[in-house]
Structure 1
Amino acid sequence: MVEEAPPDPGPRRFGNASFRKWHALLGERVDGLLKEYLSPQVMEFGQAQRTEGADQAASAGGPIVELRAYFLGAFGSSQRLDYGTGHELSFLAFLGCLWKLRAFEDGPEEGDIERSIVLGVIEPYLKVIRRLILTYTLEPAGSHGVWGLDDHSFIPYIFGSAQLTRPISEDEPMPTEGSVAGAPRPSDVVKSTVVDLNRGRNMYFSAIGFINDVKKGPFWEHSPILFDISGIKDGWGKINKGMIKMYNAEVLSKFPVVQHFPFGSLFSWDADPEAAPPVQSVHMANQPMAAAATSSWGHATAMPGNNPGSGGGGIPYSRAPWAAGAGGNAPAGPPARGGKPDTGPPPPSSFPAGQSGTTSAQFSVTKAPWAK
């Protein structure tokens, strides 16, 4: 389909308008694709084994209505010519719908199907997305700048760090430290040779490799959050746990993301009477209009215990490792964690702290919340 909708020639700052042609082709063919590759049992809601919400969806035209919406939403916006974590979330919802409709059958060992979905479906999906981004120069959707983990994606860092976490038995909880034997060190993400060696077999390094393909300059400069994470000494288990917490706070709990998420019968909107009231995140508090943002949508939800003085674990943001001095002046010597990248200039010796509620606050480099 990319070959059927070649990009318009000539340089341009924003997305290539031919992406609209590509997305239109997808819209024309989505029903045929779903009917071709999904079994009749799934398309008819299983008949014999209906999941919760099946009757409601069947009466509304069957699951194809909801499957179509999530699938089309997973490949960027043809209107804004962008792609971001909200579109990525839509693809997860598409797979979640298929899971609820019993489209997947497990293998002889427990966990086989989960691994097959991650490595055989999600990673190829990300490769398609990266080709779309490069072909049509899709803009990041709602990029957080220095607050963001990645311009476009998040889930490869969750699954990629899980690949490198130490093995566990069925009755063990998710590990909070340690790595699988022979795993590359977290600090190796700044080494292009190590990234190239591992990007074909690990989703974390595959995502880092794509960043290196599209961005130039020192890694700490264009990806400060990922650079800070690279200094974690407790292994990939801690990184994986932190990534899950950060995804909850920065994607699932952010109104700019979920405002575009459609709810239906398979993923319904249900109020949680025990949910804690939302608190303003540090990212929102540091925006220029933060002082005037008093409406409920201006207070994005943070993780429980993240509000000041609560004493909870939370994931508060702080400054970059080289900007830890008072007033933004860095202490003498190298950064406390992560080390210096093997190429490019060193981190700045000082960094303006910025004042909350003003534009100067946008120039404060943040730090991974769990990289302690």
Structure 2
Amino acid sequence: MEPPPPAAPSGAPGFPKLEILDRSAPHRFLRPAKRINVGVDVDHFLISKAYRDIGIFVLQLNRALVPRKQGSTVQSFPLTAPRQDPEPVLRLQELLRKTEAIIDDAPLDQGPRRFGNIGFRTFHTLLEQRADGLLKEFFPEGTLDGFGEAAQQAGDTEESVGPLEEIKAYFLGGFGSSQRLDFGTGHELSFLAFLGCLWKLGYFPAQPEGEIPGAVERSIVLGVIEPYLKVIRRLILHYNLEPAGSHGVWGLDDHSFLPYIFGSAQLSRPLTSETEPTPLEGSAPRAPRPSDAAKAELAESHRTSLMYFSAVAFINDVKKGPFWEHSPILFDISGIRDGWGKINKGMIKMFNAEVLSKFPVVQHFPFGSLFAWDVDPTAQAPAKSVHMASQPVAGQSQGSAAPGGVGTAAPWANATRMPGGSAGPGIPYSKAPWAGGAAPPPRGGAPDTGPPPPTAFPRGVPGTASNQHSVTKAPWAK
């Protein structure tokens, strides 16, 4: 099967989309397996077909959320806008509702524990037991048909499985770790890959006639990813899940990244034509200002309509204290004056560097046939990146050898590269203390931080934000 073409450069009229498998061609599905075992395996991942496809899918979904200008009117896409989601999206919404309902069958453990209630392991066990039935129930008839015979013809080995088995691995991976009792951006990445698998299998319909381009992609983001995030937030609160792969106070968010990408796209400068590059700066008319995200009351007022503000409002639910203190990276981003388009492009760049290029985040991502470990024949050997310098190393990689000296700049990143490079203006994610610097001073001077933090942390009511409040006050919150 021929790989999809490489991403078009910024300014080109063509914008790539994730390929859809040809049902008439033989395809051998594989049981997804761990391939990233040591730091140098990340080098290989960054030139793999999986990395290319993740990037294409993120940009495809992201562009669909950017407002469109039609004549004198601007069409934006908030969560509250009337929307006719296609039947496959409605089925996924019901799948998420049934997944969330498993929480009621997995009661909290009453034993003392600061992070991670072990009742979450019961939730995961039940989810694994019911996964086959749930996925089969909510997939339209024929979605998974026609591939099994092709897999047998291509070769029957222990790694060969049916399509359901391959996509199930990404679905289960999207709901945290039952072993570590945590959730983070790596798990969110797994759910994104689950949706990417469905796209490749032809699960989603074609673009409806007469609708603004990107209608199906918008339904995926607004009708599936946002409801998924709501389920995850309930899991985090209910089972008090620990952040996975987080930089703590110097990370963007303890658990998620996608709502900041798609949420900033919702507010970017409108496209005037479908051949126009995705805006690098500017905001939609009457969009909230970036600085509004740092104000709790404004974040709360927009949480039901805008993904970015919904994510920030959840942080305010679970963390106390001044916003600049517990979320300094988001606070700095709120000071960017070039608009939401600049923030959006910086978020994609940061996602590439802080999620896709970081060993602690991607080490558990499994690779099969749909998101393949094979080298992308169109991959370029980008310049070395400072983000690879801190990867764990070992004498020998257990993965396939990769060309030496590769970094994080991928072909699909050409469409998202921001002016000025990493040292130029934009998202200041490389300026945090964990990168070797000192904390940036708050804009306008340090506000009153209030009384010192308590020396003891009384527990709140399990499964509520009050409990999360009591356990997340960390030593760095001084």
Answer whether TM exceeds 0.5 for this pair.
Answer: yes
Question: Whole-Å Cα distance in 2 between the matches of residues 364 and 4 of structure 1?
Answer: 37
Q: State which of 269, 283, 292 in structure 2 corresponds to 1:188.
A: 292
Confirm whether residue 281 of structure 1 aligns to residue 395 of structure 2: no
Letter in 2 for 1:34: L
1:178 matched to 2:282? The reply is: yes
Matches of 2:314 and 2:299, distance apart in 1 = 10
What's the CA shift string for 1:323-370, capped at 9, x where partnerless?
A: xxxx9698xxx85x4x46987459xxxxxxxxxxxxxxxx999xxxxx
More deviation, 33-42/150-159? 33-42
Instruction: Give SS of 1:40's match.
Output: coil
C-alpha separation between the residues in 2 aligned to 1:186 and 1:284?
A: 31
Distance in 1 (alpha carbons) for counterparts of 2:389 and 2:305: 33
Residue 84 (1) aligns with residue 192 (2): no
Are positions 1:34 and 2:135 aligned together?
yes
* Equivalent residue pairs, number: 322
Q: Does 1:147 align with 2:267?
A: no
The alpha carbon displacement at 1:284 in A equals 3.0
**1:126 matched to which residue of 2?**
229
> What amino acid does structure 1 have at the position aligned with 2:431?
S
Cα distance in 2 between the residues matched to 1:181 and 1:329: 34
The answer for the alignment partner of 1:350 in structure 2 is: none
1:84-103 matches, within 5 Å, as 84-103=184-203
2: CA distance between counterparts of 1:341 and 1:158?
28
* Preserved contact between residue 195 and residue 208 of structure 1 (Cα < 8 Å): yes
The aligned residue for residue 207 of structure 1 is 311
**Per-residue CA shift, 1:148-173, capped at 9, x if unaligned?**
11000000000000011121020110
SS at match of 1:3: helix
- 2:250 and 2:375 map into 1 onto residues whose CA distance is 29
| Deviation of 1:7 (Å) | 1.1
Partner of 2:337: 233
> Contact 1:249 / 1:301 at 8 angstroms: preserved in 2?
no
Q: CA deviation at 1:314?
A: 2.9
Identify unmatched segments of 5+ residues in structure 1. 305-310, 321-326, 347-362, 366-372
Counterpart secondary structure, 1:83: strand
Letter of the aligned partner of 2:108 in structure 1? P
The structural deviation recorded for 1:56 is 5.5
Cα offsets for 1:73-109 (capped at 9, x unmatched): 0000000000001000000000000000110013232
Distance 2:152 2:316 in 1: 44
Check conservation: 1:195, 1:205, Cα contact below 8 A.
yes
Aligned-partner SS, 1:97: helix
Provide, for residues 249-301 of structure 1, a one-character-per-residue CA deviation record: whole Å limited to 9, x for no partner. Answer: 1111122222211111111112256323654428839xxxx9xx68698x994
The residue identity in structure 2 corresponding to 1:9 is Q
Partner of residue 359 from structure 2, selected from 250, 255, 273: 255
CA deviation vs aligned residue, 1:9-45 (integer Å, no higher than 9, x gap): 3552120000000001100110001111112322125
- Which of 270, 277, 281 is the matching residue for 1:167? 270
8 Å CA contact retained: 1:57, 1:265? no
**Contact 1:44–1:62 (CA under 8 A) maintained in structure 2:** no
Partners of 2:148 and 2:162 within 8 A in 1: no
Could you say what secondary structure the match of 1:43 adopts?
coil
* 1:234-258 Cα distance to aligned partner (Å, 9 max, x none): 1100000000000011111122222
Where 1:165 maps in the other structure, the secondary structure is coil
Shift of the 11–173 alpha-carbon distance from structure 1 to 2, 3 Å rule, reads same
Residue identity in the other structure for 1:216: K
The CA RMSD over aligned residues, in Å, is: 3.4
Structure 1's 258 and 183: CA in aligned 2 closer, same or farther, altered over 3 A?
same
1:59-78 pair list within 5 angstroms: 60-78=160-178
Q: Distance in 2 between the 1:160 and 1:65 partners?
A: 32
Q: What stretches of structure 2 of length at least 5 have no aligned partner?
A: 1-101, 398-404, 411-418, 424-428, 452-474
Task: Report what 1:324 is aligned to.
Answer: none
Segment of structure 1 superposing worse, 267-276 or 138-147: 267-276
The residue aligned with 2:217 is: 114
- Contact 2:381-2:406 within 8 A present in 1 as well: no
